[in-house]
Amino acid sequence: MIQMNFRFHSHEKKPYSFFLEYTEPFAKERLAEQLHEQVSTMKENRPVVLVCIGSDRSTGDSLGPLVGTFLEKNRPANMHVYGTLAKPVHALNLAETIHSIQTTHYRPLVIAIDACLGRLSSVGHVFFSEGPLAPGAGVQKELPAVGDFNIKAVVNVSGFMEMMILQNTRLHLVYELAELVADSFALLDTKLAAETTRTTISFTPRSI
């Protein structure tokens, strides 16, 4: 779990960022379009790896494992998924998981996914941004940053006793947000599969 906190100097180029509210019309299609735009720009034959961070022992922090579980059922052909309800990626194994990804995949394009606490007006929003996220920052844990891109879903309001807030977060909201993110990646996988098919066909010699 992370906490929203953005700061930029005026002379610095702001990294890419996009957000939407989960009840917006065509939310999954809009997020999938943004994912495709960014991934296709940077992919260059790099394997797409999703790191779904969180714990199934906390309602608010279960978003990442839920996303991973939903995606695992769809068996995406063009991305690798780490972090499910059965095998969560959390504080105790995050560093080990990052090492495993770096040694298993050549130049992986990593997208990290995690739950987030934020302002009341941001609850129910999904943020897709360039750059790594620092999981655990919202609950004062020092964990390694991960991701070329990150997705943060705001599940509740930040404030005093964040761990208690996460424990008392409504599962319905977390489930809806996780389903949106997973469905968006499923659409992305379909787009990538179609592009791979077109590329294969275009380079297939014509029979004489």
The per-residue pLDDT for range 43-88, each reduced to its tens digit, is 788 999 999 999 999 999 999 999 999 999 989 999 999 999 999 9
Write down the pLDDT at residue 134.
85
- Measured N-to-C along each axis, helices 171-202 and 63-74 cross at an angle, to the nearest 10 degrees, of 40
Confidence of residue 9 (pLDDT cuts 50, 70, 90): very low
Task: Write the pLDDT tens digit of every residue in 108-130.
Answer: 999 999 999 999 999 999 999 99
Write down the pLDDT at residue 207.
47
Write down the pLDDT at residue 139.
52
Cα–Cα nearest to 24, from 185, 180, 188: 180
Q: How far is CA 140 from CA 3, 59, 64, 99, in A?
A: 10, 18, 19, 23
Rounded CA-CA distance 174/193 in Å is 28
Res 191 pLDDT > 60: yes
Average pLDDT score, the chain:
88
Instruction: Tell me the pairing of strands 109-118 and 2-3.
Output: parallel
Residues 6+ apart with CB under 8 A from 26: none
